[in-house]
C-alpha cells in the first residue's frame, strides 16, 4: 500500500519524500500499514522509473537537495488500480504458516521452545497494551464507527494470537506427542503406493462422513444437548483412532 499512499499524496499536491514520510508518521498511518521510511524512498524511485511520477523541480535546503515530485496521468491510473486491488484484499488472511507449525514443534528442545513462546506472548501483550492506549486517544466521542471497528479488530486479533500461543505453551507436551505422530507418518509414507484417484476418493469419503456426523450433532443440539455431547465424543474417538 506504500505505492498507493505516495500516489494519493502526490495526486493532491507535488512534494518531496520527506514530507510524505513525516505526514505518515504524524497521522499514525505507519502504525496501521507498517510503512518504513526506507520503503517510501524505494517506492518513489520505482514509481519514477515506471513514469507514474516525475520530478517537477529540485529544492536546496542548506546542503540538502530535495526532489519535488508530481504525479503523471499514468500515475493517476496506477492509483486507481492500487485502490481496486486494496479494496479486494483481505484485511487479515485466514491462514498462517504458524497454524501448521505445532506438528513440527519437537525440532527444538523444550526449554528453548518455552522461552521463545513466552517471549513472543510478552511481545504480543505489549503490542496489545500499546493499541489499547492508542485506542483511548483516537476513539473519543467524535471518532467514526469505522475507526472504532478498526481498533477493535486489531486488538482482538492480538488477543487471539495471545490465546493461540498460550494454548500451545500450556499443552506443549501434548503437541510434542502429536509431532512424534507426524514424524512416524512421514517415515511410513510411500507416495507411489497410493494413486491420486484413490487418495482423492478416500479424502472425499472421509469428508462426507464427517459432514454427516456434524449435521447429526447440529440437529441433536436443538433437541438433546447431552446426546450431542456424546456424539461429539464419538467423533473425537474415531479421529484419534484414524491418526494412530
Q: Are 169 and 121 in contact (CB under 8 A)?
A: yes
Q: Could you count the other beta carbons within 10 Å of the beta carbon of residue 44?
A: 21
Q: What is the pLDDT of residues 21-37, one digit of tens each?
A: 888 887 777 766 667 76
Q: What is the pLDDT of residues 114-149, one digit of tens each?
A: 999 999 999 999 999 999 998 988 888 888 999 999
Residue 115 vs residue 101, higher pLDDT: 115
Q: Is 51 left (phi over 0), alpha (psi -120 to 50) or beta?
A: left
64 by DSSP, 3-state: which?
strand
Q: Could you count the other beta carbons within 10 Å of the beta carbon of residue 6?
A: 30
Amino acid at each position: 500500500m506504500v505505492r498507493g499512499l505516495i500516489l494519493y499524496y502526490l495526486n493532491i499536491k507535488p512534494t518531496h519524500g520527506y514530507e510524505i514520510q513525516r505526514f505518515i508518521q504524524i497521522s499514525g498511518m505507519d502504525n496501521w500499514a507498517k510503512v518504513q521510511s526506507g520503503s517510501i524512498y524505494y517506492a518513489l524511485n520505482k514509481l519514477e522509473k515506471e513514469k507514474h511520477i516525475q520530478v517537477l523541480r529540485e529544492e536546496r535546503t542548506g546542503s540538502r537537495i530535495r526532489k519535488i515530485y508530481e504525479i503523471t496521468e499514468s500515475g493517476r491510473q496506477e492509483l486507481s488500480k492500487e485502490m481496486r486491488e486494496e479494496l479486494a484484499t483481505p484485511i487479515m488472511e485466514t491462514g498462517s504458516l504458524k497454524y501448521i507449525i505445532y506438528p513440527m514443534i519437537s525440532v527444538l528442545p523444550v526449554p528453548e521452545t518455552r522461552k521463545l513462546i513466552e517471549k513472543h506472548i510478552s511481545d504480543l501483550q505489549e503490542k496489545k497494551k500499546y493499541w489499547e492506549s492508542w485506542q483511548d486517544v483516537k476513539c473519543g466521542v467524535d471518532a467514526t464507527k469505522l475507526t472504532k471497528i478498526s481498533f477493535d479488530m486489531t486488538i482482538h486479533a492480538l488477543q487471539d494470537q495471545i490465546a493461540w500461543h498460550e494454548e500451545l505453551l500450556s499443552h506443549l507436551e501434548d503437541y510434542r506427542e502429536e509431532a512424534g505422530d507426524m514424524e512416524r507418518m512421514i517415515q511410513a509414507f510411500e507416495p507411489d503406493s497410493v494413486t491420486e484417484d484413490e487418495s482423492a476418493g478416500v479424502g472425499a469419503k472421509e469428508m462426507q462422513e464427517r459432514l454427516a456426523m456434524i449435521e447429526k450433532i447440529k440437529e441433536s443440539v436443538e433437541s438433546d444437548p447431552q446426546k450431542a455431547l456424546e456424539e461429539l465424543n464419538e467423533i473425537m474417538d474415531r479421529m484419534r483412532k484414524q491418526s494412530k
